[in-house]
């Protein structure tokens, strides 16, 4: 398959040369670094006792140096793929050192370094089109790189250890979340479970874990379920304020308040809430304007976190209502006040959740 790619490139290059040089004298030349292409360009040699081999390829390079550099990088990428690690490669080389003294560093995600890769052979094919005024060269370069098996084992063990460490760290966050949940610190517990998810999403494969879980897949599922449940519970609000006046006054203010809170994705309920809102709202008259009665809803609400009793926000209330009937003006003011108070409370809850 590699040989056919080189042949196809040569054919395509000859077509381009023929098109450009139509009507002029030109020559097509081919040069190789060895009389016969080495067998390893089709497939890497079998492993020796101590070494594993990889082949790097670069076709169509404009210079030999570019081709060598790119082929070595391709080989390093194949080593990285074998090691199942996302890597970046750095090379210190000169043309004279390439065959015997290549220095390569493969930096894995943990910033650990694996060294020992070495170019043991290389081969190139040069295709040239020579015309009266110019010449164009293209290089297909192949490199054979050896990599010590002992380094493979070390790197695999390093990565396995890194994954075990991540799994252990995630389990620690999960246990922390459970302790926080037991003391009703739902916001903190949710953040701990989200940290579990973040840690485990960085793993590229399932890893054994302790703490009652078979592996990290089970721990990840449990953390996601916990986080989803606490997202609901951490936004549950108990309404415990007082509205002076009739029962209808309370219902009207609460209708506006609840509508704004629920639209802000906050749940209202006394079943194990995370927050409570207390305070008092009163209504007063403001005279008549252009034939309409004016009423004012005023007061303040306190948003408190139940887990530690901390006041999260104090929401001042001042709203105005109009209507040709005195009673309806008061209800309109209460509805408007409830809307504004609910919006403020919802924003305060989300702001509190976003704090570290």
CA distance 199 to 250: 47
CA angle in degrees (0–180, nearest 5) for 277-281-285: 165
Q: Examine the pLDDT at 58 and tell me if it is beyond 80.
A: yes
Q: What DSSP assignment string belongs to 261-297? A: HHHTT-EE-SSS-SEEEEEEEEEEEEEEETTEEEEEE
The average pLDDT across 154-158 equals: 79
Q: Say what angle helices 216-233 and 149-182 make with each other, to 10 degrees.
A: 30
CB-based contact 225:303 (threshold 8 Å): no
Q: Locate tokens 């399932």: which residue? A: 206
Q: What are phi and psi for residue 354, nearest 5 degrees?
A: -80, -10
- Tell me the pLDDT band of 287, cut-offs 50, 70 and 90: very high
CATH code given to domain 236-353: 3.30.160.150
CA distance 147 to 162: 22
CA angle in degrees (0–180, nearest 5) for 80-83-88: 30
Residue 229 is encoded by which pair of tokens?
Answer: 């449940």
Q: CB-based contacts of 95: which residues, under 8 Å, 6+ apart? A: 65, 68
- The β-bridge relationship of strands 236-243 and 275-289 is parallel
Longest CA–CA separation in the chain, Å: 107
CA angle in degrees (0–180, nearest 5) for 59-64-67: 40
Helices (H), the chain: 2-20, 64-82, 149-182, 186-201, 216-233, 247-263, 326-353
Q: Provide the mean pLDDT of the chain.
A: 83
- The β-bridge relationship of strands 292-305 and 311-323 is antiparallel
CA distance 186 to 232: 10
The average pLDDT across 213-231 equals: 92
Q: What DSSP assignment string belongs to 59-88? A: EEESSHHHHHHHHHHHHHHHHHHHTT---E
Looking at per-residue pLDDT, the higher value among 344 and 110 belongs to 344
Domains 156-233 and 236-353 share a fold: no
User: How far apart, in Å, are the Cα atoms of 213 and each of 53, 168, 174, 222, 223?
Assistant: 39, 11, 11, 9, 12
User: How far apart, in Å, are the Cα atoms of 102 and each of 82, 85, 143, 154?
Assistant: 20, 21, 12, 21
Looking at per-residue pLDDT, the higher value among 310 and 355 belongs to 310
The average pLDDT across 4-11 equals: 50
Residue 45 is encoded by which pair of tokens?
Answer: 């040699």
The tens digit of pLDDT for each residue in 86-119 reads 333 333 333 334 433 344 434 433 233 335 788 8
The average pLDDT across 156-178 equals: 91
CATH class assigned to 156-233: mainly alpha
End-to-end Cα separation, the chain, in angstroms: 55
Q: Where are the domains of the chain?
A: 2-148, 156-233, 236-353
The tens digit of pLDDT for each residue in 273-286 reads 889 999 999 999 99
């Amino acid at each position: 398959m590699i040989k056919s790619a080189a042949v196809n490139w040569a054919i395509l290059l000859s077509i381009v040369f023929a098109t450009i040089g139509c009507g002029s004298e030109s020559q097509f030349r081919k040069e190789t670094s060895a009389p016969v292409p080495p067998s390893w360009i089709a497939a890497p040699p079998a492993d020796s006792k101590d070494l594993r081999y990889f082949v790097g390829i670069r076709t169509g390079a404009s210079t030999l140096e570019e081709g060598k550099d790119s082929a070595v990088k391709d080989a390093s990428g194949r080593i990285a793929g074998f090691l199942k690690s996302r890597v970046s490669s750095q090379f210190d080389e000169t043309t004279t050192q390439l065959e015997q003294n290549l220095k390569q560093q493969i930096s894995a995600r943990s910033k650990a370094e694996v060294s020992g890769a070495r170019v043991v052979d290389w081969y190139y094919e040069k295709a040239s089109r020579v015309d009266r005024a110019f010449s164009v060269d293209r290089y297909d370069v192949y490199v054979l790189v050896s990599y010590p098996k002992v380094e493979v084992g070390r790197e695999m063990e390093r990565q396995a250890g890194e994954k075990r460490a991540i799994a252990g760290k995630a389990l620690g966050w999960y246990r922390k979340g459970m302790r926080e949940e037991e003391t009703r610190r739902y916001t903190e517990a949710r953040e701990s479970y989200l940290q579990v998810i973040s840690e485990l999403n960085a793993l590229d494969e399932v890893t054994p874990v302790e703490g009652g879980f078979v592996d990290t897949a089970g721990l990840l599922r449990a953390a996601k379920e916990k986080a989803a449940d606490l997202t609901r519970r951490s936004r549950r609000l108990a309404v415990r304020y007082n509205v002076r006046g009739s029962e209808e006054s309370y219902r009207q203010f609460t209708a506006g308040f609840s509508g704004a809170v629920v639209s802000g994705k906050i749940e209202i309920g006394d079943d194990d809430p995370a927050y409570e809102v207390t305070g008092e709202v009163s209504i007063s008259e403001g005279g008549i304007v252009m034939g309409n009665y004016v009423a004012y809803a005023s007061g303040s609400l306190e948003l408190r976190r139940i887990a530690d009793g901390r006041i999260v926000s104090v929401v001042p209330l001042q709203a105005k209502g109009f209507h040709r009937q005195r009673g309806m003006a008061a209800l309109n003011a209460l509805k408007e006040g409830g809307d504004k108070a609910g919006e403020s409370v919802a924003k305060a809850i989300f702001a509190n959740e976003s704090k570290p």
